[in-house]
Amino acid sequence: MQPIVLGIETSCDETAIGIVRGRTLLANVIASSVEEHARFGGVVPEIASRAHLEAMQPSIQRAVSDAKISLRDIDAIAVTAGPGLVGALLVGVASASGLAQGLGRPLYGVNHLAAHVSVDYLTHDKPTDPTIALLVSGGHSSLLQVDDITGSITKLGATMDDAAGEAFDKIARILDLGFPGGPAIDREAAKGSATALDFPRGLTTSNDWATRPYEFSFSGLKTAVARYLESTPKYVRADVAASFQEAIVDVLLLKALAACKETGINSLVIAGGVAANSRLRAVAEDRCAKAGIELRIPSPGLCTDNGAMVAALGSLMLSAGRPATRGAFDADSSLPVERVSL
């Protein structure tokens, strides 16, 4: 029988508990406090922490009941140790430590970003090593070379300003589409034309390709959209959303495919909340097929924050024989992506 791992995720506004047996997802419970943040236009850390405290116990109980197991059946516990909001992370780490100690089971403090990439393991086979990973979330956008998801990740490049998801959220706000912006822009864009407006692709001049091929920048795009809206009172919102989305998708994939080509690694995983974007998924499929690159994107529901991804990484750590995290540890709000576990 494969080991059962319970994963706890509280890095932002989701209190999320996942339970896996090996590669099989048994439970995936997500209690989100997003509605409490919506009127502020972004996540308020204090509200998130309090919501985690309230949601933790009931969420664990529901996950255990959904998985049709008892707490004693759990073989190991994994928890997001960072990066994220420190107060929010602390609730998860404290709960996981208590549970691990109470049950006498090993505890893995793992990296949220690596967990995003490893969730693909629940849908497809173990991510082929090595692979290039395009990690695009609300807080991070980076290109990674993953030689071993349980311990060897190299950052090839990252955003120099906003994360891709952050850009979606900001543009959604100025288009009056609400928060979180990504799903709203995705829906609005489906009604518009992606070629209506030609918005800039950041860091794609020949000089940029020579000096910072894998870095991203979305601030110029954001400014261009804002200027266009100011100067065009009768703009067509769906066209702006579609053209903005196209600019982001285009540049993310240009750089991801360039990384595959340059490293000779013909495998690409796209992960993080923005990987749920329907246009990104469609264009990625098309371009990867043409370039002979094997593409893996987790199902949309597993792209945004969840506990299953933390459990998946815990399960991979366990089967790789990686040591559990020793003793008490603190959450690390700026845990670098190269540190897969503590």
Is 272 a residue that touches ligand KG4 (CB under 6 A)?
Answer: yes
Is 137 a residue that touches Zn ion (CB under 5 A)?
Answer: yes
In the list 4, 5, 6, 12, the residue contacting ligand KG4 (rule: CB under 6 A) is 12
Other CB atoms closer than 10 Å to residue 170's CB: what's the count?
19
CB of 272 to Zn ion, least distance (A): 6
In the list 121, 168, 216, 244, the residue contacting ligand KG4 (rule: CB under 6 A) is 168
Question: To the nearest 10°, the Cα dihedral for 95, 101, 104, 108?
Answer: 60
For Zn ion, the closer CB: 182 or 202: 182
Is 274 a residue that touches ligand KG4 (CB under 6 A)?
Answer: yes
Q: Judge whether 216 and 261 are in contact, CB under 8 Å.
A: no
In the list 170, 305, 318, 331, the residue contacting Zn ion (rule: CB under 5 A) is 305
Q: Which stretch binds ligand KG4 (CB under 6 A): 103-111, 135-143, 202-210, 318-326?
A: 135-143
314 is in the binding site of which of Zn ion, ligand KG4, none (Cβ under 5 to 8 A by kind)?
Answer: none
114 is in the binding site of which of ligand KG4, Zn ion, none (Cβ under 5 to 8 A by kind)?
Answer: none
Is 298 a residue that touches ligand KG4 (CB under 6 A)?
Answer: no
SS3 content of the chain, % helix, strand, coil (to 5): 45, 20, 35
Other CB atoms closer than 10 Å to residue 286's CB: what's the count?
12
Q: What's the N-to-C CA distance of the chain in angstroms?
A: 27
181 is in the binding site of which of ligand KG4, Zn ion, none (Cβ under 5 to 8 A by kind)?
Answer: ligand KG4
Residue 119 phi, psi dihedral angles, 5° rounding: -65, -20
Q: Which stretch binds Zn ion (CB under 5 A): 127-135, 178-186, 275-283, 298-306?
A: 298-306
Other CB atoms closer than 10 Å to residue 30's CB: what's the count?
19
Helix, strand or coil, per DSSP, at residue 83: coil
Question: Angle of helix 237-263 relative to helix 219-231, nearest 10 degrees?
Answer: 160
Q: Which stretch binds ligand KG4 (CB under 6 A): 137-145, 223-231, 253-261, 289-297?
A: 137-145
Cα 337 to Cα 339: distance, rounded to the nearest angstrom: 5
Site for ligand KG4, rule CB under 6 A: 12, 137-139, 165-166, 168-169, 180-183, 186, 272-274, 276-277, 304-305
Site for Zn ion, rule CB under 5 A: 137, 305
